[in-house]
Amino acid sequence: MLTRRAFLHTTGATVAAAAAFRDDGVARLQAAAHRAAGNSVEDLARDENYWREIQQAFTLDRTIINLNNGGCSPSPRVVHEALKRYLDISNQAPVYHMWQVLEPNIETVRRRLAAAFGCDPEEMAITRNASEALQIAQLGVTLKAGDEVVTTNQDYGRMIDTWEQRVRRDGIKLTKISFPVPPKSMDVLADRLLSAITPATRVLHFCHITNLTGQIFPVRQIADEARRRGIKTIVDGAHAFAHFPYTAKDLGCDYYGTSLHKWLLAPIGTGFLYVRRENIKDLWPLTPAAASRADNIRKFEEIGTHPAANHNSIAEALTFHEGIGIDRKAARLRYLRDRWAMRLAKNASVRIHTNLDPQHSCAIGNVQITGVPTGKVVSRLWERWRIIATPIVHSEYEGLRVTPNVYTTLEEVDTFAAAMEEICGKGITD
């Protein structure tokens, strides 16, 4: 028999989350644990009784269907309650409780994040988001006039803007390559980037998974070849961490930045920067740090007075995430994505801009109704069905970015698919 003590050890934060919102949370999740035992992740991805317990760990507005979890996601109640608790503690006497009590505890968060990512804690800086993390690398790496950075024309706009500023300010060269949507193979993606390298290339900057179509890149293949040629790699992992399984050793890159308010479900304003140890000393922080801290990863966190509550709450988000398990999570996210994507792919008016092969993508999908402007589709989804999706209008394609999360129900996914089918059939005339 599964005892309460054994059950708490087995399910981790899922129990804590459930117990916070109803008295029978432990009993119901104990039943879910029994159902999960011995099941493959693929079978569990389709077990609605199991996922219903996860869904109810969130406090949501179910009058709308949020399919833009790629921007930021709501936190589970247990995480949000931790955030509020830490804010209350801070406010008692901020100069003491925030600086002397909460701030030192960020080292626990650093240690746990590093363990989850698979790096040394001394290579892990806690940031406010992926943009801040990546800009530390982009603006901190030493480049001189004429040095080249190679990126893609589908990288995040803020990161491209950052490189463009270095073009204007430092006289570097920025090369943006294109790639097929969707690509037929990982080799196509690697070849596009690596073939763009010239004798002037000093940095390759690319996404681990793109925010536009959810395309996963062969990071290790690219990073290994770049290192062989003496080129640094900066990888945008904004949408990757806690989304699908991988660790730092699977990447091999020099710098990696991610947000934690997307797939880890941590509070808004949380992220991290990984810097390969040998690169720390020569990477300049965004805000100046003492020369004595040149080798210290914490130099990248010196932004002045800032709240501790957001960062401390990351620990609760990690516990909740680990209670589900990354393999189960990724399988469920792909199941939700495939449910709408494969249904709509049968419609002659629909184009799916995401390669649905699990090697190429996970939760994120991009879909277009041909002949109907994407902006109008997004407006109609909201006005008639209260569905939130993200319009993606690129110079080479357009479509809706659709991103469910673990709290998304099958009814919500099916409502979206039916709404898209209605638009395909009737169009938008008003």
In this predicted model, what pLDDT tens digit does every residue of 277-328 receive, in sequence order? Answer: 999 999 999 999 999 999 999 999 999 888 899 999 999 999 999 999 999 9
pLDDT at site 284:
97
The verdict on whether omega for the bond into residue 182 sits within 30 degrees of 0, i.e. cis, is yes
Q: 31 and 10 in one domain?
A: yes
Closest by CA to 162, choosing from 143, 179, 146, 180, is 143
Closest by CA to 29, choosing from 405, 243, 322, 323, is 323
Q: 86 and 18 in one domain?
A: no
* Residue 73 within a domain: no
Q: Which residues pair with 173 in a beta bridge?
A: 148
pLDDT at site 35:
66
Q: 171 and 63 in one domain?
A: no
Helix (H), strand (E) counts: the chain: 17, 13
Q: 120 and 99 in one domain?
A: yes
What is the C-alpha to C-alpha distance for residues 187 and 202, in angstroms, rounded to an integer? 22
Give Cα 95 distance to the centre of its chain: 33
Q: 347 and 288 in one domain?
A: no
Closest by CA to 378, choosing from 394, 362, 398, 397, is 398
Query: Which tokens hold the place of 213?
Result: 């179509």
CB atoms within 10 A of CB 97: 17
Residue 30 lies in domain:
1-38
Count the residues in the chain. 430
Burial class (CB in 10 A: 0-12, 13-18, 19+), 187: exposed
Cα-based angle 296, 298, 304 (whole degrees, multiple of 5): 135
Report the domain count for the chain. 3
Q: 145 and 273 in one domain?
A: yes
Query: Which tokens hold the place of 271?
Result: 């992220």
Closest by CA to 204, choosing from 229, 238, 179, 168, is 229
What is the C-alpha to C-alpha distance for residues 136 and 129, in angstroms, rounded to an integer? 11
pLDDT at site 5:
41
pLDDT at site 23:
40
Q: 329 and 314 in one domain?
A: no
Left (φ > 0), alpha (ψ -120 to 50) or beta: where does 427 sit? left
What is the C-alpha to C-alpha distance for residues 405 and 265, in angstroms, rounded to an integer? 10
* Residue 59 within a domain: yes
* Residue 43 within a domain: no
Name residue 423's amino acid: I
The pLDDT profile of the chain, 430 residues, written as one tens digit per residue, is 334 444 334 444 343 334 344 444 334 444 555 667 678 899 999 999 999 999 999 999 999 999 999 999 999 999 999 999 999 999 999 998 888 988 999 999 999 999 999 999 999 999 999 999 999 999 999 999 999 999 999 999 999 999 999 999 999 999 999 999 999 999 999 999 999 999 999 999 999 999 999 999 999 999 999 999 999 999 999 999 999 999 999 999 999 999 999 999 999 999 999 999 999 999 999 999 999 999 999 999 999 888 899 999 999 999 999 999 999 999 999 999 999 999 999 999 999 999 999 999 999 999 999 999 999 999 999 999 999 999 999 999 999 999 999 999 999 999 999 999 999 999 988 7
Instruction: Identify the helix (H) or strand (E) that includes residue 333.
Output: helix 326-345
- Phi first, then psi, for residue 81 (nearest 5°) are -65, -35
Q: 347 and 289 in one domain?
A: no
Q: Which residues pair with 258 in a beta bridge?
A: 272
* Residue 200 within a domain: yes
Taking 3-state DSSP, the helix, strand and coil percentages for the chain, each rounded to the nearest 5, stand at 50, 15, 40
Q: 199 and 87 in one domain?
A: yes
- What DSSP designation does 325 have? -
User: Among 281, 303, 319, which residue terminates a domain?
Assistant: 319
Half-sphere CA count of 183, side-chain side, radius 13 A: 19
Q: 160 and 200 in one domain?
A: yes
The four Cα atoms 395, 400, 405, 410 give a dihedral, to 10 degrees, of: -160
Q: 103 and 56 in one domain?
A: no
Distance, first Cα to last Cα, the chain: 61
Q: 307 and 259 in one domain?
A: yes
Are 192 and 178 contacting, i.e. CB atoms less than 8 angstroms apart? yes
User: Which is it for strands 350-352 and 271-275: parallel, antiparallel or unpaired?
Assistant: unpaired
CB atoms within 10 A of CB 428: 12
CB atoms within 10 A of CB 283: 22
pLDDT at site 18:
40
* Residue 130 within a domain: yes
Domain of residue 217, CATH code: 3.40.640.10
pLDDT at site 258:
98
